[in-house]
């Protein structure tokens, strides 16, 4: 999954990013509203973590603009405000959840998983297609009775493809979802990960089809 973290406290931002990256997520970080808006305009995110008090304004203005633009990316607000009225106002503006500072990082991770499950429309994150079962939370891929170990980006690539079978993903789109803004990624890197994933799926009923000039598509035989 790809997250956008909007937080001006650098120490806290680094701690949150590190925990999310340990879970295999890609994290872009913005420390002000202007940068957050630029990230959203140029990239796709599965979840936004939004601080309220930012150097160039109130995060609620970003949230209001985000929802006014018909953007349905889930937003979890990070706030030091504990008044019920404050939390209600943020939910009314379109926040999907909120976490009050200071918070436990495991609670934040659990809330992220819950919001992502709701967005996907199911209570369980496990996905099955043909003889392939993927549990992205446990980091486990099963093909029939065989358990296959994937590296982090192989896992995230399969998660992206298996949740949208038949959809074409360009190399640029895959790079955007698998790598953060600060990482320098070549098209060859995407080809390498596609090749590795193809080898892992060799005994499965799934195949990754190359569409020359367009990208890749996961097909179910």
If pLDDT is split at 50, 70 and 90, which confidence band does 123 have? very low
3-state secondary structure 145-167: CEEECCCHHHHHHHHHHHCCCCC
Q: What is the CATH number of domain 127-220?
A: 1.10.10.10
Contact criterion met (CB below 8 Å) for 105 and 19: yes
The answer to whether 38 and 66 are in contact (CB under 8 A) is no
Instruction: Tell the CATH topology of 2-120.
Output: Rossmann fold (3.40.50)
Of 181 and 141, more confident: 141
**Strand partners for 206:** 220
Domain boundaries, the chain: 2-120, 127-220
Q: Is the pLDDT of residue 122 over 70?
A: no
The 10s digit of each residue's pLDDT in 184-198 is 778 789 999 999 999
Q: Read off the pLDDT of residues 64-103 as tens digits, 9 standing for 90 and up.
A: 988 887 788 999 999 887 677 777 888 888 899 989 888 8
Which has the closest alpha carbon to 2: 33, 63, 43, 41?
43
What is the average pLDDT across 45-60?
92
152 exposed, middle or buried (CB, 10 Å; 0-12, 13-18, 19+)?
A: middle
pLDDT of residue 184: 77
The pTM is what? 0.73
CB 167 within 8 Å of CB 221: no
């Amino acid at each position: 999954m790809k997250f956008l973290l909007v937080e001006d406290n650098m120490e806290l931002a680094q701690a949150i990013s590190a925990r999310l990256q340990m879970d295999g997520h890609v994290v872009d970080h913005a420390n002000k509203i202007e940068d957050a808006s630029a990230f959203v305009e140029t990239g796709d995110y599965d979840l936004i973590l939004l601080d309220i008090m930012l150097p160039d304004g109130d995060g609620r203005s970003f949230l209001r603009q985000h929802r006014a633009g018909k953007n349905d990316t889930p937003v979890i607000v990070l706030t030091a405000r504990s008044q019920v009225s404050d939390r209600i106002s943020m939910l009314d503006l379109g926040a999907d959840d909120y976490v009050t500072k200071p918070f436990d990082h495991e609670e934040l991770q659990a809330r992220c998983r819950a919001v992502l499950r709701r967005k996907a429309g199911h209570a369980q994150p496990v996905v099955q297609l043909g003889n392939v079962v993927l549990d992205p939370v446990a980091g486990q891929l099963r093909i029939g009775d065989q358990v296959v170990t994937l590296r982090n980006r192989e896992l995230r690539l399969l998660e992206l493809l298996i949740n949208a079978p038949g959809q074409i993903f360009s190399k640029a789109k895959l790079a955007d979802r698998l790598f953060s803004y600060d990482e320098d990624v070549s098209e060859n890197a995407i080809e390498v990960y596609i090749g590795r994933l193809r080898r892992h799926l060799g005994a499965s009923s799934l195949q990754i089809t190359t569409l020359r000039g367009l990208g890749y598509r996961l097909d179910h035989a």
